[in-house]
Amino acid sequence: MQSLVIVAHGSHLNPESSAPTYDHADTIRASGAFDEVKTGFWKEEPHFREVLRTVEGDEVYVVPLFVSEGYFTEQVIPRELRLEGWDVSEWDSDGLSADQATLVAEDVGREVHYCGPVGTHRAMTDVIERRAESVTGDPDVGEGFGLAVVGHGTERNENSAKAIEYHADRIAERGRFDEVKALYMDEDPEVDDLPEHFESDDVVLVPLFIADGYHTQEDIPEDVGLCEDHTEGYDVPTAVDGTRIWYAGAVGTEPLMADVILERAADAGADLGDALAAVRETTRVAAGD
Protein backbone atom coordinates (compact mmCIF):
# COMPACT_ATOMS: atom_id res chain seq x y z
CA MET A 1 0.00 0.00 0.00
CA GLN A 2 1.41 3.31 -1.15
CA SER A 3 0.91 6.49 0.90
CA LEU A 4 1.68 10.12 0.20
CA VAL A 5 2.19 12.60 3.02
CA ILE A 6 2.33 16.28 2.08
CA VAL A 7 3.92 18.38 4.82
CA ALA A 8 3.44 22.14 4.89
CA HIS A 9 3.81 25.11 7.20
CA GLY A 10 0.20 26.04 8.03
CA SER A 11 -0.70 28.93 10.30
CA HIS A 12 -2.15 29.75 13.72
CA LEU A 13 -3.55 33.00 12.35
CA ASN A 14 -4.57 32.58 8.72
CA PRO A 15 -7.30 30.03 7.94
CA GLU A 16 -6.39 29.97 4.25
CA SER A 17 -2.75 29.05 4.73
CA SER A 18 -3.46 25.32 4.52
CA ALA A 19 -5.94 25.64 1.63
CA PRO A 20 -3.43 24.98 -1.19
CA THR A 21 -2.11 21.93 0.66
CA TYR A 22 -5.61 20.50 0.91
CA ASP A 23 -6.40 21.39 -2.71
CA HIS A 24 -3.32 19.64 -4.07
CA ALA A 25 -3.95 16.64 -1.82
CA ASP A 26 -7.47 16.43 -3.26
CA THR A 27 -6.18 16.60 -6.85
CA ILE A 28 -3.70 13.81 -6.17
CA ARG A 29 -6.31 11.76 -4.33
CA ALA A 30 -8.60 12.04 -7.35
CA SER A 31 -5.77 10.85 -9.62
CA GLY A 32 -5.78 7.53 -7.78
CA ALA A 33 -1.98 7.33 -7.75
CA PHE A 34 -1.84 6.66 -4.00
CA ASP A 35 -3.91 4.47 -1.72
CA GLU A 36 -4.02 7.36 0.71
CA VAL A 37 -2.97 11.01 0.73
CA LYS A 38 -2.36 12.65 4.11
CA THR A 39 -1.41 16.15 5.13
CA GLY A 40 0.70 17.29 8.09
CA PHE A 41 1.64 20.75 9.33
CA TRP A 42 4.09 22.70 11.46
CA LYS A 43 1.40 25.04 12.79
CA GLU A 44 -1.77 23.00 12.36
CA GLU A 45 -2.96 19.48 12.98
CA PRO A 46 -1.97 16.80 12.53
CA HIS A 47 1.45 18.19 13.39
CA PHE A 48 4.58 16.87 11.65
CA ARG A 49 5.19 15.16 14.96
CA GLU A 50 2.13 12.97 14.68
CA VAL A 51 1.21 12.70 11.03
CA LEU A 52 3.09 9.47 10.32
CA ARG A 53 1.10 7.56 12.92
CA THR A 54 -2.06 8.34 10.95
CA VAL A 55 -0.55 6.70 7.86
CA GLU A 56 -1.51 3.16 6.95
CA GLY A 57 0.70 2.31 3.98
CA ASP A 58 4.02 0.50 3.96
CA GLU A 59 5.48 2.58 1.12
CA VAL A 60 5.41 6.13 2.47
CA TYR A 61 6.49 9.19 0.50
CA VAL A 62 6.84 12.51 2.34
CA VAL A 63 6.90 15.62 0.16
CA PRO A 64 7.56 19.04 1.75
CA LEU A 65 5.38 21.76 0.29
CA PHE A 66 8.14 24.33 0.79
CA VAL A 67 9.89 26.66 -1.64
CA SER A 68 13.54 26.06 -0.87
CA GLU A 69 15.95 23.73 0.82
CA GLY A 70 16.98 25.03 4.19
CA TYR A 71 15.96 25.24 7.81
CA PHE A 72 12.59 23.50 7.44
CA THR A 73 13.52 20.79 5.00
CA GLU A 74 16.92 20.06 6.53
CA GLN A 75 16.29 20.47 10.25
CA VAL A 76 12.71 20.90 11.38
CA ILE A 77 10.85 18.33 9.28
CA PRO A 78 13.35 15.45 9.66
CA ARG A 79 13.61 16.15 13.39
CA GLU A 80 9.86 16.33 13.96
CA LEU A 81 9.19 13.26 11.80
CA ARG A 82 11.87 11.50 13.86
CA LEU A 83 13.83 10.30 10.84
CA GLU A 84 16.44 8.20 12.52
CA GLY A 85 20.02 9.14 11.77
CA TRP A 86 19.04 11.95 9.41
CA ASP A 87 22.03 13.84 8.09
CA VAL A 88 21.56 16.51 5.47
CA SER A 89 24.48 15.00 3.54
CA GLU A 90 22.08 12.16 2.64
CA TRP A 91 20.69 14.54 0.08
CA ASP A 92 24.13 15.51 -1.18
CA SER A 93 22.53 18.67 -2.49
CA ASP A 94 23.94 21.90 -3.86
CA GLY A 95 20.85 23.68 -2.55
CA LEU A 96 18.76 22.76 -5.57
CA SER A 97 19.30 19.07 -6.12
CA ALA A 98 17.84 17.36 -3.03
CA ASP A 99 15.78 14.43 -4.29
CA GLN A 100 15.09 11.84 -1.63
CA ALA A 101 16.50 9.97 1.34
CA THR A 102 15.07 6.74 2.72
CA LEU A 103 15.06 6.59 6.51
CA VAL A 104 13.17 4.93 9.32
CA ALA A 105 10.75 7.12 11.26
CA GLU A 106 11.45 6.19 14.85
CA ASP A 107 7.98 6.40 16.36
CA VAL A 108 6.24 4.27 13.74
CA GLY A 109 9.22 2.03 12.99
CA ARG A 110 8.63 2.28 9.26
CA GLU A 111 10.75 3.40 6.34
CA VAL A 112 9.76 6.63 4.67
CA HIS A 113 11.04 8.23 1.51
CA TYR A 114 11.76 11.81 2.47
CA CYS A 115 11.75 13.98 -0.65
CA GLY A 116 13.23 17.36 -1.51
CA PRO A 117 10.92 20.39 -1.46
CA VAL A 118 8.57 21.14 -4.34
CA GLY A 119 10.04 24.59 -4.95
CA THR A 120 13.38 23.37 -6.27
CA HIS A 121 12.01 20.68 -8.57
CA ARG A 122 12.43 21.24 -12.31
CA ALA A 123 8.66 20.77 -12.80
CA MET A 124 8.12 23.88 -10.69
CA THR A 125 9.27 25.94 -13.67
CA ASP A 126 6.16 24.79 -15.53
CA VAL A 127 3.97 25.81 -12.60
CA ILE A 128 5.37 29.34 -12.70
CA GLU A 129 4.61 29.54 -16.40
CA ARG A 130 1.18 28.04 -15.81
CA ARG A 131 0.58 30.67 -13.13
CA ALA A 132 1.26 33.36 -15.74
CA GLU A 133 -1.24 31.67 -18.04
CA SER A 134 -3.93 31.45 -15.40
CA VAL A 135 -3.58 35.03 -14.18
CA THR A 136 -3.75 36.41 -17.72
CA GLY A 137 -6.32 33.84 -18.82
CA ASP A 138 -4.14 33.24 -21.87
CA PRO A 139 -2.59 29.78 -22.36
CA ASP A 140 -0.21 31.30 -24.90
CA VAL A 141 0.94 34.28 -22.83
CA GLY A 142 4.56 35.24 -23.43
CA GLU A 143 5.10 37.46 -26.44
CA GLY A 144 5.15 41.12 -25.43
CA PHE A 145 5.26 40.12 -21.76
CA GLY A 146 7.91 40.23 -19.09
CA LEU A 147 7.90 37.76 -16.21
CA ALA A 148 9.08 38.56 -12.69
CA VAL A 149 9.73 35.57 -10.43
CA VAL A 150 9.72 36.98 -6.91
CA GLY A 151 11.13 35.38 -3.79
CA HIS A 152 11.51 36.36 -0.20
CA GLY A 153 15.27 36.40 -0.28
CA THR A 154 17.19 36.52 2.94
CA GLU A 155 20.78 36.94 3.91
CA ARG A 156 20.39 34.11 6.41
CA ASN A 157 19.88 31.41 3.80
CA GLU A 158 21.44 31.57 0.36
CA ASN A 159 19.30 28.66 -0.83
CA SER A 160 16.26 30.87 -0.61
CA ALA A 161 17.42 32.90 -3.63
CA LYS A 162 18.78 29.87 -5.51
CA ALA A 163 15.34 28.46 -6.25
CA ILE A 164 14.15 31.80 -7.63
CA GLU A 165 17.19 32.20 -9.90
CA TYR A 166 17.02 28.59 -11.05
CA HIS A 167 13.46 28.88 -12.33
CA ALA A 168 13.94 32.39 -13.73
CA ASP A 169 16.97 31.16 -15.71
CA ARG A 170 15.10 28.13 -17.03
CA ILE A 171 12.14 30.22 -18.15
CA ALA A 172 14.48 32.76 -19.78
CA GLU A 173 16.22 29.95 -21.69
CA ARG A 174 12.90 28.77 -23.08
CA GLY A 175 12.48 32.17 -24.75
CA ARG A 176 8.74 32.30 -24.21
CA PHE A 177 8.68 35.69 -22.46
CA ASP A 178 10.40 38.79 -23.77
CA GLU A 179 12.18 39.28 -20.43
CA VAL A 180 12.50 37.25 -17.24
CA LYS A 181 13.86 38.61 -13.95
CA ALA A 182 14.41 37.21 -10.48
CA LEU A 183 13.44 39.80 -7.85
CA TYR A 184 13.31 39.73 -4.05
CA MET A 185 11.59 41.30 -1.09
CA ASP A 186 14.58 41.41 1.23
CA GLU A 187 17.59 41.64 -1.05
CA ASP A 188 18.67 43.18 -4.33
CA PRO A 189 17.31 43.37 -6.97
CA GLU A 190 14.18 44.42 -5.11
CA VAL A 191 10.64 43.91 -6.27
CA ASP A 192 9.72 47.46 -5.12
CA ASP A 193 11.26 48.93 -8.27
CA LEU A 194 9.65 46.43 -10.60
CA PRO A 195 8.95 48.75 -13.58
CA GLU A 196 12.61 49.80 -13.63
CA HIS A 197 13.68 46.23 -14.28
CA PHE A 198 11.48 45.76 -17.34
CA GLU A 199 11.07 47.31 -20.75
CA SER A 200 7.88 45.38 -21.52
CA ASP A 201 4.55 47.16 -21.09
CA ASP A 202 3.08 44.02 -19.51
CA VAL A 203 4.76 42.12 -16.71
CA VAL A 204 3.44 39.06 -14.92
CA LEU A 205 4.58 39.00 -11.30
CA VAL A 206 4.67 35.47 -9.84
CA PRO A 207 5.68 35.24 -6.16
CA LEU A 208 7.40 31.94 -5.38
CA PHE A 209 5.44 31.36 -2.17
CA ILE A 210 3.41 28.32 -1.20
CA ALA A 211 0.37 29.99 0.31
CA ASP A 212 -1.20 33.40 0.11
CA GLY A 213 -0.67 35.29 3.32
CA TYR A 214 0.98 38.37 4.73
CA HIS A 215 3.81 38.56 2.17
CA THR A 216 1.78 37.90 -0.96
CA GLN A 217 -1.41 39.69 0.04
CA GLU A 218 -0.05 42.68 1.94
CA ASP A 219 3.70 43.26 1.52
CA ILE A 220 4.21 42.68 -2.18
CA PRO A 221 1.07 44.48 -3.47
CA GLU A 222 1.91 47.53 -1.35
CA ASP A 223 5.66 47.48 -2.06
CA VAL A 224 5.11 47.18 -5.79
CA GLY A 225 2.55 49.96 -5.71
CA LEU A 226 -0.49 47.97 -6.81
CA CYS A 227 -2.31 49.69 -3.95
CA GLU A 228 -1.60 52.09 -1.12
CA ASP A 229 -3.22 49.82 1.40
CA HIS A 230 -3.85 46.13 0.75
CA THR A 231 -7.32 46.35 2.34
CA GLU A 232 -8.38 48.47 -0.63
CA GLY A 233 -7.55 45.66 -3.04
CA TYR A 234 -6.15 46.07 -6.58
CA ASP A 235 -7.00 45.18 -10.14
CA VAL A 236 -5.26 42.60 -12.30
CA PRO A 237 -3.61 44.11 -14.19
CA THR A 238 -2.77 47.36 -12.44
CA ALA A 239 -0.65 50.00 -14.18
CA VAL A 240 2.34 51.21 -12.15
CA ASP A 241 4.57 53.86 -13.75
CA GLY A 242 3.27 52.88 -17.19
CA THR A 243 3.84 49.14 -16.75
CA ARG A 244 0.79 46.89 -16.55
CA ILE A 245 1.49 44.46 -13.70
CA TRP A 246 -0.38 41.17 -13.72
CA TYR A 247 -0.09 40.12 -10.11
CA ALA A 248 -0.43 36.35 -9.77
CA GLY A 249 -0.36 35.82 -6.00
CA ALA A 250 1.35 32.78 -4.50
CA VAL A 251 2.42 30.25 -7.12
CA GLY A 252 1.66 27.48 -4.64
CA THR A 253 -2.06 28.03 -5.13
CA GLU A 254 -1.82 27.06 -8.81
CA PRO A 255 -3.53 23.69 -9.36
CA LEU A 256 -0.62 22.35 -11.45
CA MET A 257 1.41 22.36 -8.21
CA ALA A 258 -0.06 18.89 -7.57
CA ASP A 259 2.05 17.73 -10.50
CA VAL A 260 5.29 18.77 -8.76
CA ILE A 261 4.31 16.88 -5.62
CA LEU A 262 3.73 13.79 -7.77
CA GLU A 263 7.05 14.28 -9.57
CA ARG A 264 8.86 14.40 -6.22
CA ALA A 265 7.25 11.15 -5.15
CA ALA A 266 7.95 9.55 -8.56
CA ASP A 267 11.62 10.53 -8.30
CA ALA A 268 11.68 8.71 -4.95
CA GLY A 269 10.26 5.56 -6.55
CA ALA A 270 6.50 5.91 -6.24
CA ASP A 271 4.46 4.08 -8.88
CA LEU A 272 2.13 6.69 -10.31
CA GLY A 273 0.59 4.93 -13.30
CA ASP A 274 -0.86 7.59 -15.56
CA ALA A 275 -1.54 10.05 -12.73
CA LEU A 276 0.95 12.65 -13.97
CA ALA A 277 -0.75 12.98 -17.35
CA ALA A 278 -4.17 13.08 -15.70
CA VAL A 279 -3.16 15.83 -13.28
CA ARG A 280 -1.58 17.92 -16.04
CA GLU A 281 -4.77 17.58 -18.06
CA THR A 282 -7.17 18.45 -15.24
CA THR A 283 -5.18 21.49 -14.11
CA ARG A 284 -4.55 23.15 -17.48
CA VAL A 285 -5.79 26.60 -18.41
CA ALA A 286 -8.55 26.42 -20.99
CA ALA A 287 -8.03 28.67 -24.01
CA GLY A 288 -10.33 31.69 -23.99
CA ASP A 289 -12.76 32.50 -26.79
Residues making contact with another protein (CB under 8 A): 11-15, 22, 26, 42-47, 49-51, 53-54, 56, 71, 75-76, 79, 107
- Cβ distance to another protein smaller for residue 71 or 234: 71
Q: Three-state DSSP class for 192?
A: helix
Q: How far is the CB of 45 from another protein (least distance, A)?
A: 4
Instruction: List C-alpha distances in Å: 15 to 12, 19, 23, 43, 212.
Output: 8, 8, 14, 11, 10
Cβ proximity to another protein: between 72 and 177 the closer is 72
Minimum distance of another protein from residue 250's CB (angstroms): 18
Three-class DSSP category at 259: helix
Least distance (Å) between residue 11 CB and another protein? 8
Between the CA of residue 50 and those of 44, 126, 179, 261, what are the distances in Å?
A: 11, 33, 45, 21
Residue closer to another protein (CB basis): 21 or 243: 21
In this complex, which beta carbon is closest to another protein, that of residue 47 or of residue 244?
47
Residue 24: CB minimum distance to another protein, A: 13
Nearer to another protein, 53 or 122 (CB): 53
Least Å from the CB of residue 156 to another protein: 10
* Cβ-contact 18, 44 below 8 angstroms: yes
Alpha-helical runs (H) found in the chain: 19-31, 48-51, 77-80, 124-136, 159-174, 194-197, 220-224, 257-267, 275-282
